[in-house]
Structure 1
Amino acid sequence: MYVPARRWGGSSPLLLLVPLALLLSALWAGTVRAADNVAAPPAAAAPILDPMPEPVQSGLGLVLEEYARFPKTEAVPGPVTDPRLMRHARINALVELPDRTERKAVPDLNGQLYLVEDGKQPQLYLDIAGTFAPQFFASRGMGQGFGYVTFDPGFRKNGRFYTVHTEAASATGAVPDFRQAASSTYHGVITEWTAKDPSAATFEGTRREVLRIGFNGQVHGIQQIDFNPTARPGDSDYGLLYAAVGDGGTGKSNAEPGTLSLPHGKILRIDPRGTDGVNGRYGIPASNPFVGKPGALGEIYAYGMRDPHRFSWDSGRGHAMYLGHIGEHAIEAVYEVRAGDNLGWSEREGAFAFDRNATNPCHRILPLPADDEKYGYTYPVAAYDHNPPPDWNCTADVGRAIAGGFVYRGAEVPELRGKYLFDDLVDGRVFFTEADAMRRGQEPARINQLMIYDTSGKRTTMPELAGDKRVDLRFGQDARGELYLLAKANGKIWKVVGTKRFADCRTNGTELNHVMDGGNWAPVTPAKWQFPGREAILAEAGAARPGPRRPFEYAVLAKGPAFGSVTIEGEVRLDTPVSVSNRDVIIVFGHQSDTKFYYAHLSQDNTIYPHNGIFVVDDADRLRLDHQWDGAKGAPPAVTDEAWHDVKVVHCAESGEIAVYVDGARDPLMTAADKTLPGGRVGFGSFDNTGRLRELEVRGTPLR
């Protein structure tokens, strides 16, 4: 069930839709201490099948330049049977060494640690797989292998850095420092390395084991280890090592992520140079939130997590810590994490109750209980849902998983400043939110999807750049705050070198206005139209005509030239009552004949192929072009009432980019790229409804 929400972001009056549950519950709890209560889903609550609004298509795009290519590698030990592990190179992160050399370290899950410098080929620095053979394990489970590397802030002098890798429990005689209730399948191992010469191109030195954790599943292990780069010598956080530890893949069926006596499903914070930890090889910071609490591990910084994938600190605005948290059934989320937080898994998935005992596995997401505040859970500052196709088997992987990112505070791409950039690691979509809008205890920040361009200005996608529909995408960041994207699919890294606005071509040359007199228009059926002076009114619904499937009734502006690149602005109104859900009007452009033209379809319905999108008619049935259509629905409905709405259509003939804006929004409601038609005349109409146009202005380059 849905109800209209307030305007998303405040710039557009389009009414987006949010679950009724969001309005019935006090979802967004503020900062909380660890809760002792365990919340149960409300027994009689109806499941929520579409819990979150879709990310908004932004008109902003990233310009990417290829930075490095990595050698092909294989997961060991073989044979590998999961096609998701058969990648070119399972590069997993990019971090810059804190030694002023501008070298970047890149771990490959298959067991290699590379160093790469600007303009140079990657060089193998350390063979992790070989060092820990035969127990090194990377051939089953999405995160198995050599997962991450981080460098002590004093690396330039002390040569210390840290890695995390996995070992098969059956191949090692080591006993884990911590383990889950069931027997361990693999171990996640944090190792400290000390380089004899920190400036050397290959590693030579010593190592020691810091911490070993046993997991009874093959996924959701230790995902990231890192130091807080915003901490300075003398700060309480300086030199402390954070570790994001997953639930081992079993947290949905037990309470271990919320159990403070285990490290699983937690973010840990330890002192790698201390000695008062459980094994004497690390220390427990006295400032950790559960130090001294009976039955609780002092190592825990925050808890209640399924798969805490990537975290980072904002170098501005209070140095907030943001976590990209991979969901189970429906919710991919960004959290601002503070000491003692409980994210609620597996009682909660995002800001919803999670019914882990549901008899129908498709119905696990429920509204929050009325007394939710008493449990003290921390909820996301931004989130998106899985939006599965209608035929999805809800027990299967839907192909959505968030990879956390970074708040951009660099200097090279000013339009990104203050934005938190992240991605979906599976399908390669890249997103941003405004960091200032990500506030704990407030409505979640709007998520915007970024476009992707190559350095020639051609629009592309991450699947196209990676050569695979499964991208396996991650963000990286250098010491200057500049951003990089890494793909396992083809083992490439791209640097973000700029931004580009979609459909930003110049459309000056000829301008038409005051054109609403009937003598300026050529309708398909003149008897159905009225031109009282300031409006073009389609007063009678059109009827299907012979030929290709296309809008039934429209009028072409005959005054002035045909246009190539063009901007069309006007106000439209749907006169058909709102009780007719599929009512529409269209803006015609690139019109060359009755069977060759483009049109933007503005409808109250966005759930079926012919509605609310950008189409081309090219001597054949209309073909949908817009990027928003995903096979189930497209952009949010363009018009949901009987009021007047501002509409702008921009067509850049040279690039083929088309953008449709409604009610002055900065970002387009619909976008497409197509070069079928170089341009033509503009017009207005509908399929089989009534409506009107006024205040029309057309600016563009005459078609030659």
Structure 2
Amino acid sequence: NVDGHDPQKSGWLYQLYRPVKPAWAKQFEEQVGIKTPDVDDATRPAGEWNEIYLRIAANQCEVAVNGVSYYRFKLNDDDWAARVAKSKFANLPLFGKAGKGHICLQDHGNVVSFRSIKLRELPEDGSVPNPVDGRLALKSELAFPNLKWAGRDEEEESGRVRPLRPMVLTQADDGTNRVFVATQRGAIHVFENSFAATETKMFLNLTEKVHDWKKDNEEGLLGLAFHPKNKENGFFYVYYSSEQEPHVSIVSRFKASADDPNVADPQSETIVMKIPQPFANHNGGSIAFGPDGYLYIGLGDGGGRNDPLRSGQDLGSWMGSILRIDVDGKSDGANYAVPSDNPFVTRDGAKPEIFAYGFRNLWRIAFDRQTGHLWASDVGQDRWEEVNVVRAGGNYGWSGREAGFGFGNVPVKSDDPVVDPAWMYDHQVGKSITGGYVYRGKAVPSLQGKYLYADYVSGKVWALEYDPTGEKSTKNYAIVDGGLPILAFGEDAQGEVYYLIESATGKSIYRFVEE
């Protein structure tokens, strides 16, 4: 079966459906002049097992081969009727109209081989139940209901309202009880951490340097982290998509003004890293200082669909990795040093900055302030979303695996064993994970020690219990059943956790409280 052109061998549905590249993938490829085959063939080479996934309901079906979605259809809708009419089997009276029947396993002209068959009964509509062990009695409230955003232009030149899209909420850990919020457009605001806060102050405006997310919605100002000794040195770090250099992400250091700690010096920028990005999507962008004082940078695989450059398993590329650097040192002409205990510093051909790899699009990373564990939520492609507790040198599988299952036609070949996710959920539950924090505050006792996370597409929110000794999740609790598209979570100096949403009115920062 070469290039997926034999429909019987690559799982096409009798030529009604082909695994054709979706429009969004074509758009990202056209932007950067990269071309991949229009038809997917996810079947693996001889000697490798293939996984066929079927989700069947009364009037619809989904088929995936090795984790790659081949097609979805609904019986009797306009698209289905048109395809049936064009088929060479259209003259058969029951073709495309059959109701109940049998699922047959066959390999045309060859002996059928299978290792296992798993069956799971679903509701009549084919939906997958929310994987929860109960519900926490919590409700949402505006964290700062009277807050006005300094310098915010609510209308564009066209007259349309420009929504506020906060990407980061954090604190400086300097005893001042301030909150810092970075927006995707490039503004960093500061204000007092008080329910009664009425206005922000513009800490730093980077809008002229930052590529506008309205043009490429996964780019912009995506990361903000304060140096552990910022009280003495005034340093903080940002991760942004460059306006001047297309498809380049920049990690830079800035410094707070000596005269006013609520204003940063825009002329103080020192570029720490420039990270070329093959595509406008899967740029990652989450940054955080670990308990070891090093800066961790969460990256995506560089973009596109199916990891076209095979970056996820390539240790010779920064893409698809978490980087770990020493921003207090310099080496080889760079404004950072590589920690000597990074896991791949002695491996030939590997980028020494890599701490862990095998990720598709990390959204987002965060340290548990009590245990020091690094949590990383990774957005999947066609079937699974995943939560990871990251270890040094870990290989998290992409793009030979998605979550705990094989993906695509190239198996994982690394000598590093693949680390299974701490938790994963099906794309019938949600399609774009938003990672949060392990709650260590005091205001909401029922959240204590649980990892908060959400799904941007389905709007569901959960709290996950994890046993670090057994390295496994023990319970998953529902908080919100849907309709809440969370962009990111944030954490203040007291360990209280907030969630951030897009808002045309600027009402973007919320928190959970006991009912």
TM above 0.5: yes
Tell me which residue corresponds to 1:158.
233
Provide the C-alpha distance between the structure 1 equivalents of 2:155 and 2:227, rounded to a whole number of angstroms: 28
For the Cα contact (< 8 Å) 1:57–1:450, is it kept in 2?
no
Which of 471, 479, 483 is the equivalent residue of 1:450? 479
Partner-residue secondary structure (3-state), 1:286: coil
Asked if residue 337 in structure 1 is aligned to residue 390 in structure 2, the reply is yes
Deviations 1:158-182 (A, max 9, x none): 10000111124xx44xxxxxxxxxx
C-alpha distance in structure 2 between counterparts of 1:246 and 1:290, whole Å? 19
Give the direction of change, closer, same or farther, for the CA distance of 1:115–1:387 in structure 2 (3 Å limit).
Answer: same
Name the structure 2 match of 1:99: 174
Deviation at 1:375, TM superposition (A): 5.9
Residue 53 of structure 2 aligns to a residue in which SS?
coil
Residue in 2 that maps onto 1:254? 309
Alignment check: 8 A CA contact 1:303 1:341 kept = yes
Partner residue of 1:365? none
Q: CA RMSD in A?
A: 3.1
CA distance in structure 2 between the aligned counterparts of 1:151 and 1:137, rounded to whole angstroms: 24
Residues 204-353 of structure 1: pairs in structure 2 closer than 5 A: 204=265, 206-228=268-290, 231=291, 237-238=292-293, 240-250=294-304, 252-277=307-332, 279-316=333-370, 318-353=371-406
Q: Verify the 8 A CA contact 2:444 2:513 in the aligned structure 1.
A: yes
1:197-232 deviation digits (Å, cap 9, x = unpaired): 28532223611111001112101114211102xx2x
Q: Pick closer, same or farther for the CA change 1:472–1:319 going to 2, 3 Å.
A: closer
Does 2:493 match 1:431? no
What is the aligned counterpart of 2:417 among 357, 376, 388?
376
CA distance in 1, matches of 2:282, 2:452: 23
Q: Which of the numbers 261, 272, 281 marks the counterpart of 1:200?
A: 261
Question: Does the 8 A contact of 2:357 with 2:396 survive in 1?
Answer: yes
d(CA) in 2 for partners of 1:326 and 1:87? 26
Aligned in 2, Cα 1:144/1:446: closer, same or farther, shift over 3 Å?
same
State the AA in 2 paired with 1:480.
Answer: Q
Give the deviation of 1:495 after TM superposition. 4.5
* Structure 2 residue corresponding to 1:48, chosen from 36, 39, 53: 53
Matched, 1:420 2:481: no
- Cα gap change, 1:375 to 1:293, in 2 (>3 Å): closer
Structure 1 residues 249-258 or 109-118, which shifts more? 249-258
**Structure 2 match to 1:474:** 488
Compared CA separation, residues 91 and 141, structure 1 to 2 (3 A): same
Q: Distance in 2 between matches of 1:158 and 1:373?
A: 41
Query: Relative to structure 1, is the Cα distance of residues 372 and 187 closer, same or farther in structure 2, using a 3 angstrom cutoff?
Result: closer
Structure 2 distance, partners of 1:354, 1:474, is 27
Counterparts of 1:484-499 in structure 2 under 5 Å? 484-490=498-504, 491-496=506-511, 498-499=513-514
Q: For 1:189, give the aligned amino acid.
A: I
In structure 2, the residue matched to 1:122 is 200
Uncovered stretches (5+) of structure 1, i.e. residues with no partner? 1-38, 173-184, 232-236, 358-368, 389-398, 453-460, 464-470, 501-704
> How many pairs were matched up?
391
Partner of 2:143: 67
Q: Is the 8 A contact 2:240 2:250 kept in 1?
A: yes
- For the pair 1:167 / 2:229, whether they are aligned, the reply is no
Q: How much has 1:421 moved relative to structure 2?
A: 1.1
> In the TM superposition, what is the alpha-carbon distance from 1:43 to its structure 2 partner?
4.8
Residue number in structure 2 paired with 1:612: none
Query: Alignment partner of 2:141: what SS?
Result: strand
Residue 472 of structure 1 deviates from its aligned partner by 4.0
Bigger Rg over Cα: 1
1:138/1:166 contact within 8 Å kept: no
CA shift, 1:266, in A, is 0.4
1:73-107 per-residue CA deviation (whole Å, 9 max, x = no partner) reads 5899x999xx9xx8611111210122211111111
Alignment-derived partner of residue 215 in structure 2 = 140
Partner amino acid, structure 1, of 2:202: L
Provide closer, same or farther for how the CA distance between residues 462 and 189 of structure 1 changes in structure 2, counting only shifts above 3 A: same
TM-score by length of 2: 0.69
Match of 2:296, SS state, is strand
SS at match of 1:94: strand
Alpha carbons 1:260, 1:297 under 8 Å: kept: yes
Q: Secondary structure at the match of 1:157?
A: helix
Decide whether the 8 Å contact of 1:219 with 1:248 is kept in 2: yes
What is the one-letter code of the residue matched to 1:66? L
CA contact (8 A) 1:383 1:447 kept: no
Once residues 221 and 339 of structure 2 are traced to their aligned partners in structure 1, the CA distance between those partners, rounded to angstroms, is 26
Distance 1:426 1:75, change over 3 A: farther
1:664-703 map, 5 Å: none
Q: Which amino acid aligns with 2:423?
A: A
Q: Which amino acid aligns with 1:45?
A: N
Residues 311-338 of structure 1: per-residue CA shift (max 9 Å, x gap): 112233x421111111111111100101
Q: In the alignment, is the contact (CA less than 8 A) between 2:453 and 2:462 conserved in 1? A: yes
Classify 1:210/1:43 alpha carbon distance in 2 versus 1 (closer, same or farther; 3 Å): same
From the two aligned structures, give the one with the greater strand fraction: 1
What is the rounded CA distance, in whole Å, between the counterparts of 2:158 and 2:413 in structure 1? 48
Q: 1:198 to 1:340 in 2, by over 3 A?
A: farther
Question: Deviation digits for residues 107-144 of structure 1, max 9, x if unmatched?
Answer: 111111111221222222111113x2xx7443333321
State the shift of 1:435 in Å: 2.5
CA separation of 1:474/1:57 partners in 2, compared to 1, >3 Å: closer, same or farther? farther
The aligned amino acid for 2:434 is A
For 1:381 and 1:75, locate their aligned partners in 2 and report how far apart those are by CA, in whole Å: 43
Q: Is the 8 A contact 1:429 1:462 kept in 2?
A: yes
Q: 1:499 to 1:57 in 2, by over 3 A?
A: farther
